[in-house]
């Protein structure tokens, strides 16, 4: 499959998203968006043995340096940022260097933050290697690291110059990680409804996990298109972009409560999507048939949908009030009036929230 590009059109900046198979073998494509003669490849110790050699080959005639950071969300922090700055300084990278993030959302977020701040901003290319990073994290320009004070507490918006998604990289991804990415695809399906939701349903009804390359291509391309359109309209999340947080107020609380150790992000989002559907039902926005549909879709993707009994609902409830999406002290939820018609609601009462959380306990 050859590369096919989408474009994210922003004010004074546009960047292509290439999606296809064997793109990492295409030296011309990899070097097309590099301007100077210096490249810094950033990846982690799990991905380096799999793909770094292939990417390095494309830059044989450049000064191409590599920094391998430790794998894992716990390393999405200042130490890793410093490690990358030090590699850039040690190898004397100039303002016209290009930094390439090769990895999942963690590598992408940290590297994006470094690119935004090194020499006040240098060229950035994302090569996302997880489904979650391909459909979500690599598009839209959010970069950042975690701090004891909270997830993604330090960061910036920074536009990449290109995003290159090689579907072959998903072949080495664990099924659990793949399913986690499918949760975000289902989120897009619920946000836009219609044909895209039907497409997701049809793929999942054939037990297509792991999905074949053609199915993945369609799901990734359409997910990217949806995100790109929303980002084009509201890059800095002053309005509509917040809809992409469907299920996330619940998900972030579940992740924080369990110290980011129990669920992958997409798994927490899956539970959050079910919670959002049930909350929408309790507010008489959608029917129980709709809630069951969401439940069935997530179940087919083999994703969790319920809050385990050992989670203390009071503790979870407290955490939700600390979610950074709280505006003016009221909790902010993305709710569904129908599949394809979601909106931001700040009127959910504490009693309504509590009732949903209790109903979602397994
Ligand atoms: N910037 C954004 O807009 C945005 C959006 C969504 C999520 N995120 C962030 O993304 C992160 C989650 O991303 P993720 O789910 O990709 O997690 P991740 O980056 O931790 O990757 C998951 C695991 O898969 C491994 N891996 C990556 N690619 C692989 C491959 N091709 N083969 C085998 N293993 C591979 C990684 O090393 C890691 O162990 C979170 O930190 C989240 O906050 C950012």
What DSSP assignment string belongs to 15-76? EEEEEESSGGG-HHHHHHT--SSEEEEEEETTTIIIIIHHHHHTTTTSEEEEEEEPPSGGG-
Predicted pLDDT of residue 328: 56
**Which of residues 351 and 66 earns the better pLDDT score?**
66
pLDDT tens track for 287-300: 999 999 999 999 99
Q: Check if 220 has its Cβ closer than 6 Å to any atom of ligand 1.
A: no
For residue 103, report the distance from its CA to the centre of ligand 1, in Å: 7
Lowest mean per-residue pLDDT among 34-43, 79-88, 309-318: 309-318
For residue 106, report the distance from its CA to the centre of ligand 1, in Å: 5
Q: Check if 129 has its Cβ closer than 6 Å to any atom of ligand 1.
A: yes
Q: Check if 20 has its Cβ closer than 6 Å to any atom of ligand 1.
A: no
228 three-class SS: helix
Q: Rounded to whole angstroms, how far apart are CA atoms 65 and 69?
A: 13
pLDDT tens track for 162-187: 999 999 999 999 999 999 999 999 99
In the numeric block, the tokens 């994210």 are attached to: 8
Q: Check if 140 has its Cβ closer than 6 Å to any atom of ligand 1.
A: yes
pLDDT tens track for 219-231: 999 999 999 999 9
For residue 4, is pLDDT > 70? Answer: no
Q: Check if 136 has its Cβ closer than 6 Å to any atom of ligand 1.
A: yes
| Confidence tier at 325 by pLDDT (50, 70, 90) | low
282 phi and psi angles, rounded to 5 deg: -65, -20
Residues 176, 340, 132: CA angle, nearest 5 degrees:
25
List the residue whose alpha carbon is closest to atom 41 of ligand 1.
106
For residue 130, report the distance from its CA to the centre of ligand 1, in Å: 6
Provide the mean pLDDT of the chain. Answer: 93
99 three-class SS: strand
| Index of the ligand 1 atom closest to the CA of residue 184 | 6
Q: At what angle do helices 175-192 and 288-300 cross, to 10 degrees?
A: 150
pLDDT tens track for 11-22: 999 999 999 999
Q: Rounded to whole angstroms, how far apart are CA atoms 344 and 336?
A: 9
Q: Rounded to whole angstroms, how far apart are CA atoms 272 and 252?
A: 9
Tokens representing 277 are 């559907």
173 in Cβ contact with 130 (< 8 Å): yes
Lowest mean per-residue pLDDT among 28-32, 97-101, 314-318: 314-318
Q: Give the end-to-end CA distance of the chain in Å, rounded to a whole number.
A: 43
List the residue whose alpha carbon is closest to atom 14 of ligand 1.
105
Q: Check if 231 has its Cβ closer than 6 Å to any atom of ligand 1.
A: no
Q: Check if 255 has its Cβ closer than 6 Å to any atom of ligand 1.
A: no
- The pLDDT > 70 percentage for the chain reads 95
Sign of CA dihedral 256, 261, 265, 266: negative
């Amino acid at each position: 499959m050859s590369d096919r590009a989408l474009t994210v059109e922003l004010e004074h900046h546009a960047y292509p998203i290439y999606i296809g198979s064997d793109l990492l073998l295409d030296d011309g494509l990899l070097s097309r968006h590099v301007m100077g003669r210096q490249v810094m490849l950033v990846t982690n110790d799990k991905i380096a043995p799999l793909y770094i050699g292939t990417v390095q080959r494309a830059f044989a005639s450049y000064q191409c340096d590599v920094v391998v950071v430790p794998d894992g969300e716990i390393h999405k922090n200042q130490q890793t940022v410093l490690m990358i700055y030090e590699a850039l300084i040690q190898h004397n990278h100039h303002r016209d260097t290009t930094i390439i993030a090769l990895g999942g959302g963690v590598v992408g977020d940290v590297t994006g933050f470094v690119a935004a701040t090194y020499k006040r901003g240098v060229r950035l290319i994302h090569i996302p290697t997880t489904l979650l990073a391909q459909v979500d994290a690599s598009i839209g320009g959010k970069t950042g690291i975690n701090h004891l004070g909270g997830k993604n507490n330090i960061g910036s918006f920074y536009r990449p110059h290109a995003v290159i998604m090689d579907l072959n990289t998903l072949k080495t991804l664990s099924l659990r990680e793949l399913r986690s990415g499918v949760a975000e695809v289902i989120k897009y399906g619920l946000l836009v409804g219609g044909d895209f939701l039907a497409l997701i349903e049809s793929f999942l009804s054939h037990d297509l996990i792991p999905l074949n390359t053609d199915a993945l291509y369609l799901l990734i391309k359409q997910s990217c298109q949806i995100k790109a359109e929303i980002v084009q309209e509201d890059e800095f999340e002053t309005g509509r972009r917040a809809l992409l947080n469907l299920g996330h107020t619940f998900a972030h609380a579940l992740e924080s409560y369990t110290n980011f150790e129990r669920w992958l992000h997409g798994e927490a989002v899956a539970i959050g999507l079910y919670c959002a559907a049930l909350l929408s039902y309790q507010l008489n926005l959608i029917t129980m048939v709709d809630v069951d549909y969401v439940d069935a879709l997530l179940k087919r993707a083999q994703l969790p949908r319920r809050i385990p009994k050992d989670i203390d609902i009071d503790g979870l409830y407290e955490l939700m009030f600390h979610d950074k999406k709280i505006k003016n002290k009221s909790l902010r939820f993305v709710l569904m009036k129908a599949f394809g018609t979601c909106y931001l609601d700040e009127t959910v009462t504490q009693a309504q929230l509590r009732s949903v959380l209790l109903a979602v306990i397994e």
